[in-house]
Amino acid sequence: MDYTAAKTLLERHGQTQLLDYFGELDEKQRSQLLSDIEKIDFSVLSYIGGNSNKRRGKITPAPAVSAEEIQKNRGKYESAGIELLRQNKVAAVLLAGGQGSRLGFDGPKGMFDIGVTHPLSIFGQQMNNIFEVTKKTGEFFHLFIMTGAQNDEVTRKFFKDNSYFGYPEQKIHFYIQSVAPTCDFKGKIYLDTKSRVSFAPNGNGGWYSSLIDSGMGEIINKEGVEWINIYSVDNVLQRICDPAFIGATALSNCACGAKVVKKVAPEEKVGILCYEDGKPSIIEYYDADDEMKNQRDADGQLTYRYGVTLNYLFRVADLNAALDAKLPYHDAQKAIAHMDKGVRVTPKEPCGFKFETLVVDMVKFMNGCLGYEVVREREFAPIKNATGNDSVETARELLKLNGVKL
């Protein structure tokens, strides 16, 4: 794209501020900026104001297979799952492309050291959890790690320096997720530097399209992978490729499964599993109104009691069919470094929007979703914040409870 084409494009979208410093740039910087401008997806700006968050259908409660039922059927579920794992029909995707801004750690969240008397990274702890499964099955599944452009190199290096935590290197595959432009509250796209447009990871909803775009689909096809288990980096008790979960979902004929916990309180900050117009759906906590959060059944239990833990199993055939379904973007208010009157500023408070698609929005494109209730103390220890709720402290306590030496 040349300067004239870029100017015409930006005029059409009211974004000519991106060329403010063009006259000060050398040739290399100019071509960098023009190439960034060419990559901008302007359509994300139409999501400012939360138009993706509006309720689109009738919301009703969704059931889940309870922890007690799972316990009763564990043998049956586990052997079905182990069989699929032994046939290499299951792979996992670690979502590690986020920026972890709430934790305030300067590096990929997975590298955060949760150890007390010895070093133990979040990545390391999750790999230890994986070994519990591979010991049972005697097989190593393909593990895809989605990074963001900002943390890809350092994440790869960390795995390499740690000898992939003992996992076979040829079964670990890194890929980078796509990005979206950031903007101020008026919708003006930011420059990160005089010669670079400000882009941020476009949310965890893009995990499958980015996997396909990166060429990893070939591995999935070649190996005949039928199910993909995706999980977030921040839960240190994450059970990855849990055979019982895989077996229960496969036997249920649902196209996906979601590990859920019973919410501890109406206002707990977890997405809520429900039905929307009779189809499986997840409403994020910030989109659920008070009535929905507080509604109770006759026995006193919360009507919408199942919170998702960001551990899902998706059937590949259904993912392929849903690939063209365009997920909505959510506008998130964030502090974003940007150029301001010739100077690069790094605000501490939100100054504009980042745009993210969410994995929760994929669920409604699936033909059935099995809610699978797990025991919170055994499987849910998210690290979102440095202190307080869902923090390093609470996660350490839960790890100790599960016999992990810190």
| Residues at the contact surface with ligand UTP, assessed by CB under 6 A | 95-102, 109, 146, 177, 201, 203-204, 232-234, 310, 356, 384
Residue 403: CB minimum distance to ligand UTP, A: 24
**Nearer to ligand UTP among residue 110 and residue 247 (C-beta):** 110
Residue 343: CB minimum distance to ligand UTP, A: 25
**Nearer to ligand UTP among residue 146 and residue 351 (C-beta):** 146
Residue 100: CB minimum distance to ligand UTP, A: 4
**Nearer to ligand UTP among residue 43 and residue 101 (C-beta):** 101
Residue 312: CB minimum distance to ligand UTP, A: 12
**Nearer to ligand UTP among residue 100 and residue 257 (C-beta):** 100
- Which bin fits 217, alpha (ψ -120 to 50), beta or left (φ > 0)? alpha
Residue 97: CB minimum distance to ligand UTP, A: 3
**Nearer to ligand UTP among residue 19 and residue 95 (C-beta):** 95
Nearest to ligand UTP by Cβ — which residue?
Answer: 98
DSSP assignment of 248-289:
HHHHHT-SEEEEEEE-SSTT-SS-EEEEETTEEEEE-GGGS-
**Nearer to ligand UTP among residue 137 and residue 238 (C-beta):** 238
Distance of CA 285 to the CA centre of its chain: 16
The Cα–Cα gap between 9 and 164 comes to 45
The Cα–Cα gap between 355 and 336 comes to 12
**Nearer to ligand UTP among residue 29 and residue 128 (C-beta):** 128
Q: 120 vs 35, 153, 168, 364, CA distance in Å?
A: 40, 20, 20, 37
For residue 394, count CB atoms less than 10 angstroms from its CB and return exposed for 0-12, middle for 13-18, buried for 19 or more.
middle
Element (H, E) at 144: strand 143-147
Distance of CA 18 to the CA centre of its chain: 30
**Nearer to ligand UTP among residue 137 and residue 235 (C-beta):** 235
**Nearer to ligand UTP among residue 19 and residue 233 (C-beta):** 233
Q: Give CA torsion, residues 315, 219, 129, 131, to 10 deg.
A: 130
Q: 281 - beta bridge partners?
A: 274
DSSP assignment of 4-45:
HHHHHHHHHHT-GGGGTTGGG--HHHHHHHHHHHHH--GGGG
Residue 12: CB minimum distance to ligand UTP, A: 28
Distance of CA 359 to the CA centre of its chain: 6
**Nearer to ligand UTP among residue 146 and residue 172 (C-beta):** 146
Distance of CA 312 to the CA centre of its chain: 10
Residue 102: CB minimum distance to ligand UTP, A: 3
Q: 333 vs 183, 207, 336, CA distance in Å?
A: 10, 22, 9
Residue 101: CB minimum distance to ligand UTP, A: 3
DSSP assignment of 330-385:
EEEEE---EEETTEEE--SS--EEEEE--GGGGGGGSS-EEEEE--HHHH--B--B
Residue 287: CB minimum distance to ligand UTP, A: 14
Residue 234: CB minimum distance to ligand UTP, A: 5
The Cα–Cα gap between 360 and 230 comes to 12
